[in-house]
Structure 1
Amino acid sequence: MEFWIAALVVALLAAAWLARPLLSAAGAAPAEPEAARDVQVFRDQLRTLDRDIERGVLAEADAEGSRAEISRRLLAAAAQAERQAPARPAPRSASRAMAAGLALAVFAGGGGLYLWLGAAGAPDRPLQARLEEVRSAQAQRPSQAEAEARMAEAGTPAAPEPAPGSEEARMRDLVAQLRTALADRPDDVRGRRLLADSLMRLGDMQGAQAAIHEAVEQQGEAAPAEDRVALAEAMILSAGGYVSPEAETQLGRALRADPANSVGRYYAGLALAQTGRYGLALRFWRALLAEGPADAPWIAPIRAQLPDLEQAAARAGQLAEAGEPAPPPAALPGPDREQVEAAGEMTAQDRAAMIEGMVAGLAERLQAEGGSAQEWARLIRAYGVLDRDEDAAAAFARAREALAGDDAAQAALAQAAADAGVPQ
Structure 2
Amino acid sequence: MMFWIISTGLSAVVAAFFLAVMRAQSAQPDTTAPALLIYTQQLQEVEKDVAKGLLAAEEADRLKIEISRRILALDATSPAQTRRDTPASLALTAGLITVILLGGTFLMYREYGAPGYENLSQKQRIANAQRSLETRPSLEEFAAAIPAQPEVFAPSADYTDLVKKLRKTVADRPEDLEGHVLLANVEAGLQNFAAAAEAQQSVLKLKGEAADVSDFFDHAELLILSVQGYVAPEAEAILRDILKQEPTHEGATYYIGLMMAQNDRPDQAFRLWRALLEKGPADAPWITPIRDQIEEVAVYAGINDYVLPDVDQAAATAQLAGPTQSDIDAAGDLSADERMMMIEGMVAQLAERLGAEGGSSAEWARLIGALSVLGRIDEAQEIWREAQLVFADSAMDLETLQRTAEEIGLIQ
Higher RCO, Cα 8 Å, sep 6+? 2
